Structure 1
Amino acid sequence: MAEPQIDTLQFPGHLIRRLHQISVALFADHMARNDIDLTPVQFAAIDALAHEPGVDQATIAARIAYDRATLGKVIDRLEAKGLIRRDISPEDRRARVVTLTEAGQSLLNKAMPIVEALQSEILTGLSPAEQVQITTLLTKATQIGDRLRRAPHRAQTGSQKEF
Structure 2
Amino acid sequence: MSGDHDRPAFERGTGFLLARLGSLTARSWTAFLGEHRLTQGQYAVLVALGRNGAVGQRRLAELVAMDARNIVPVLDQLAERRLVERRPHDTDRRRRLVVLTEDGTALVGSIAEAAAAEQDRFLDALTEPEREQLNLLLQRLYAAHVRAADPA
TM-score calculated relative to the size of structure 2: 0.69
The alignment partner of 1:98 has SS state of strand
Is the 2:42–2:74 contact (alpha carbons within 8 Å) kept by the matching residues of 1?
yes
Query: Unaligned regions of 5+ residues in structure 1, if any?
Result: 1-5, 151-163
Q: Which amino acid aligns with 2:37?
A: D
RMSD of aligned alpha carbons: 3.2
- The answer to whether residue 119 in structure 2 is matched with residue 125 in structure 1 is no
The residue number in structure 2 matching 1:143 is 143
**If each structure's helix is expressed as a fraction of its own residues, which one has the higher value?**
2
Q: Displacement of 1:82 after TM fit?
A: 1.7
Distance 1:102 1:20, change over 3 A: same
Distance 1:61 1:19, change over 3 A: farther
Count of matched residue pairs: 141
Q: Displacement of 1:11 after TM fit?
A: 6.1
Q: Which amino acid aligns with 1:146?
A: V
The residue number in structure 2 matching 1:25 is 27
Q: How many percent identity over aligned positions? A: 26
The residue number in structure 1 matching 2:95 is 95
The residue number in structure 2 matching 1:67 is 66
Query: Unaligned regions of 5+ residues in structure 2, if any?
Result: 1-8
Greater relative contact order (CA < 8 Å, ≥ 6 in sequence):
1
The alignment partner of 2:97 has SS state of strand
Q: Displacement of 1:135 after TM fit?
A: 1.4
Between 1:50-59 and 1:122-131, the stretch displaced more is: 122-131
